[in-house]
């Protein structure tokens, strides 16, 4: 069953690539004429890309670089030593910035994939009934709006249907391919890599440009790695080798066989495989449903990526809602959902055709693939302890494909490739500024904290009274006294009888099992509390702290806890460590980030916020 589930969730993007990949190679703005030699060459490139990039790079090698079973570019970053990720306060490592850039590009990919997938499927109506061309864009937009509107409800119920539907889609695609291969069996020789070599020899630079279309055939490879934690390595490998890969290869060969005899059909080769007449409608419906599943998987992946980035400190806090009590992985991020949804609709309205939108596609994918290879080199050296020669040989082989794909897609910048580049750049700036700002902020508070022993010695002289109740003071450091508590004691000369100095720690593992919290009494009614969460979890601290309070005082009730949070207002100035512009952006992000009260699941009626003006 795990294999069936993986087929429905993990492979949606790559399984629907036959709708537009070969079309872009032979009929796109950067494509070549659909002559027989070019057809053989393009299909040979697609087949060997599927084998080298997906089978070898991702399934055989990268999936070994998992963080307690979780994969993806952010999990890869978590495997690196902390010292290499942040060399000093505010100074991020080169690999860290690269990985953040790769994650930012995936946000751009999240905008384009639903748009091009659904649009290319609905365009099948033009093949079945040319008079329906005018409804393609409106129908696509309606489907996209509906898709993003239902995200709040969660995808758990639909997920039970995803696997069987994708199996039906892949089986259909394979059968259609086999039928046309039988008409032109010579297309099978396209499996030989010598056709790719001849293609480059004959077409030269034009063949290089076609790589921008070839990469569309492997656009779901990153999802295989990122979703490893949901199903495990083995089900994904089995699903790919025995179901998805054979179906895709046979379908691409079938498209090639059809184009050999009918070059004009290169404009829409997938739906040209479908029998003419009313038979075409069910195939359009099936293709549309398959692309909706592919889009759903990518949207879910973006939500997970956002949560990982927030937990690791590389993205501003956003509101995250859980859509299923029985599954921590099913989440909904309202801001990202509607950002993706509105962006998808605008892309469809602007480009109108999938072959035009394909020019915007691929750059984000190839960029992320290249960055993933570079990051894996660092992981191979530090985590797996490979020799430099071994790591360079393996990663160098991957980069031959990655850099070639990236270079070809760079030629598409003015044809639409600027879309993921602009989106990725915006997210990169936000993520880097946020990471550096939080780093400087941590150093700021550490410099203004007081050693615990010194605070406890001076406490009796500072206090005029101790009040009943339990105070929870949030602190970034589990070792010293935070400035917010120093201000309370120094200004108000009072303190509650029991104080829980609480630090929330995000571990470099996906989930925390076993003991989540540790409690140590440090004297004068103060207790150190450290609560640990994995980077795939959403921190909810109130239940844990209520249980700790009851352990200290059996009479304590959850509503007796009073949370004291620092409310910082950042002043962007020329003298700051980040520079005036970056500090103003960080200040804006901090003001608009999700409130810590809600983010940590703290009851709003039990919160006291103490403000402070800070100039980094």
Q: Are 241 and 172 contacting, i.e. CB atoms less than 8 angstroms apart?
A: no
- Read off the pLDDT of each residue in 266-274 and give the average, rounded to a whole number: 91
Which of 28, 609, 588 is closest to 316 using CA atoms?
588
- Read off the pLDDT of each residue in 218-231 and give the average, rounded to a whole number: 80
Chain centroid offset of residue 536 CA = 12
Per-residue pLDDT at 330 exceeds 90: no
- Given 1.10.10.10, 1.10.1740.10, 1.20.1740.10, 1.20.1050.90, which CATH number is that of 2-437? 1.20.1740.10
- Read off the pLDDT of each residue in 102-112 and give the average, rounded to a whole number: 87
Q: Where are the alpha helices (DSSP H) in 352-387?
A: 354-357, 363-382
Q: Are 439 and 448 contacting, i.e. CB atoms less than 8 angstroms apart?
A: no
Contacts of 341 (CB under 8 A, 6+ apart): 144, 145, 147, 148, 149
Q: Classify the C-alpha dihedral 587-588-591-595 as positive or negative.
A: negative
> Cα(517)–Cα(530) distance, rounded to whole angstroms?
5
- Read off the pLDDT of each residue in 228-233 and give the average, rounded to a whole number: 76
- pLDDT single digits (tens) 156-176: 555 567 889 999 999 999 999
Q: How much is the pLDDT for 326?
A: 46
CA angle 312, 316, 318 (to 5 degrees): 105
Q: How much is the pLDDT for 324?
A: 56
- Read off the pLDDT of each residue in 455-483 and give the average, rounded to a whole number: 87
Per-residue pLDDT at 319 exceeds 80: yes
Q: How much is the pLDDT for 168?
A: 94
Phi-psi region of 472 (alpha: psi -120 to 50; beta: other; left: phi over 0): beta
- Read off the pLDDT of each residue in 50-64 and give the average, rounded to a whole number: 94
- Read off the pLDDT of each residue in 412-430 and give the average, rounded to a whole number: 90
- Read off the pLDDT of each residue in 525-533 and give the average, rounded to a whole number: 93
Q: Are 549 and 498 contacting, i.e. CB atoms less than 8 angstroms apart?
A: yes
Q: How much is the pLDDT for 157?
A: 52
- pLDDT-derived band at 262 (thresholds 50, 70, 90) equals very high
> Cα(417)–Cα(403) distance, rounded to whole angstroms?
16
88-92, 294-298, 339-343, 533-537: which is most confident = 339-343
Q: How much is the pLDDT for 130?
A: 81
Q: Are 441 and 590 contacting, i.e. CB atoms less than 8 angstroms apart?
A: no
Q: How much is the pLDDT for 608?
A: 86
Higher-pLDDT residue of 196 and 573 is 196
- pLDDT single digits (tens) 111-134: 888 998 899 889 888 877 788 888
- pLDDT single digits (tens) 338-369: 999 999 999 999 988 887 887 778 888 899 99
Partners of residue 531 on adjacent β-strands? 504, 517
Helix or strand run (H / E) with residue 529: strand 526-533
Residue % of the chain over a pLDDT of 90 = 44
Phi-psi region of 469 (alpha: psi -120 to 50; beta: other; left: phi over 0): left
Q: Where are the domains of the chain?
A: 2-437, 449-614
- pLDDT-derived band at 574 (thresholds 50, 70, 90) equals low
The HSE-up count of residue 99 (CA atoms within 13 Å, CB side) is: 30
Indicate the pTM of the whole model: 0.85
Contacts of 199 (CB under 8 A, 6+ apart): 37, 38, 40, 41, 42, 44, 45, 207, 210
- pLDDT-derived band at 3 (thresholds 50, 70, 90) equals confident
- pLDDT single digits (tens) 272-283: 998 877 777 898
Torsion of CA 541, 546, 551, 555, to 10 degrees: 170
Higher-pLDDT residue of 416 and 501 is 501
| Residue 530 dihedral angles phi and psi, to the nearest 5° | -120, 120
Q: How much is the pLDDT for 301?
A: 80
């Amino acid at each position: 069953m795990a294999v069936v589930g993986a087929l429905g969730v993990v492979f949606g993007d790559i399984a629907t690539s036959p709708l537009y990949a070969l079309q872009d190679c032979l009929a796109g703005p950067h494509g070549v004429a659909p002559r027989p030699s070019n057809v053989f060459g393009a299909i040979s490139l697609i087949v060997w890309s599927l084998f080298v990039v997906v089978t070898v790079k991702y399934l055989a090698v990268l999936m070994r670089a998992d963080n307690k079973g979780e994969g993806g570019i952010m999990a890869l970053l978590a495997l690196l030593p902390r010292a290499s990720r942040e060399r000093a306060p505010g100074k991020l490592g080169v690999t860290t910035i690269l990985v953040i850039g790769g994650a930012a590009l995936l946000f751009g990919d999240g905008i384009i994939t639903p748009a091009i997938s659904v649009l290319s499927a609905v365009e099948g109506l033009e093949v079945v009934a040319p008079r329906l061309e005018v409804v393609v864009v409106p129908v696509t937009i309606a489907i996209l709006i509906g898709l993003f509107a239902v995200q709040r409800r969660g995808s758990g119920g639909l997920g039970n249907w995803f696997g069987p539907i994708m199996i039906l889609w892949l089986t259909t695609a394979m059968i259609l391919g086999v039928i046309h291969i039988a008409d032109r069996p010579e297309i099978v020789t396209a499996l030989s890599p010598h056709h790719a070599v001849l293609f480059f020899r004959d077409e030269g630079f034009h063949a290089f440009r076609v790589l921008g279309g070839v990469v569309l055939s492997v656009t779901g490879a990153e999802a295989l790695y990122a979703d490893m934690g949901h199903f495990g390595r083995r089900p994904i490998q089995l699903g790919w080798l025995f179901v998805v890969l054979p179906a895709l290869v046979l379908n691409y060969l079938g498209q090639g066989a059809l184009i050999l005899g009918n070059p004009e059909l290169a404009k829409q080769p997938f739906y040209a495989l479908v029998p003419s007449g009313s038979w075409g409608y069910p195939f359009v419906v099936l293709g549309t449903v398959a692309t909706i599943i592919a889009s759903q998987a990518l949207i879910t992946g973006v939500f997970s990526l956002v949560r990982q980035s927030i937990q690791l400190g590389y993205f501003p806090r956003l509101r995250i809602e859980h859509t299923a009590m029985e599954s921590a992985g099913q989440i909904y991020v309202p801001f990202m959902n509607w950002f993706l949804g509105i962006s998808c609709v605008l892309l469809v309205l602007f480009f109108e055709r999938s072959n035009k939108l394909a020019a915007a596609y691929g750059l984000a994918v190839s960029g992320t693939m290249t960055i993933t290879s570079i990051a894996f080199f660092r992981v191979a050296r530090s985590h797996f302890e490979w020799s430099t020669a071994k790591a360079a040989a393996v990663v160098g082989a991957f980069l031959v494909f990655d850099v070639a794909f990236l270079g070809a897609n760079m030629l598409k910048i003015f044809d639409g490739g600027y879309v993921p580049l602009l989106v990725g750049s915006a997210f990169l700036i936000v993520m880097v500024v946020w990471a550096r700002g939080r780093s400087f902020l941590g150093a700021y508070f550490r410099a203004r904290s007081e050693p615990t022993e010194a605070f406890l010695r001076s406490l009796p002289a500072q206090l005029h009274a101790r009040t009943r109740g339990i105070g929870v003071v949030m602190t970034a450091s589990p070792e010293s006294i935070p400035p917010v508590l120093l201000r309370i004691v120094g200004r108000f000369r009072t303190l509650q009888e029991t104080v829980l100095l609480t630090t929330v720690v995000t571990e470099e593992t996906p989930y925390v099992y076993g003991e989540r919290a540790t409690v140590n009494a440090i004297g004068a009614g103060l207790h150190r509390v450290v609560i640990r969460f994995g980077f795939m979890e959403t921190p909810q601290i109130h239940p844990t702290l209520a249980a700790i309070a009851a352990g200290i005082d059996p009479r304590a009730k959850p509503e007796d806890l009073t949370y004291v949070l620092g409310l910082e207002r950042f002043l962007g100035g020329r003298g700051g460590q980040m520079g005036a512009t970056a500090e103003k952006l960080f200040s804006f992000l901090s003001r608009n980030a999700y409130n810590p009260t809600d983010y940590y699941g703290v009851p709003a009626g039990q919160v006291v916020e103490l403000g402070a003006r800070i100039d980094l």
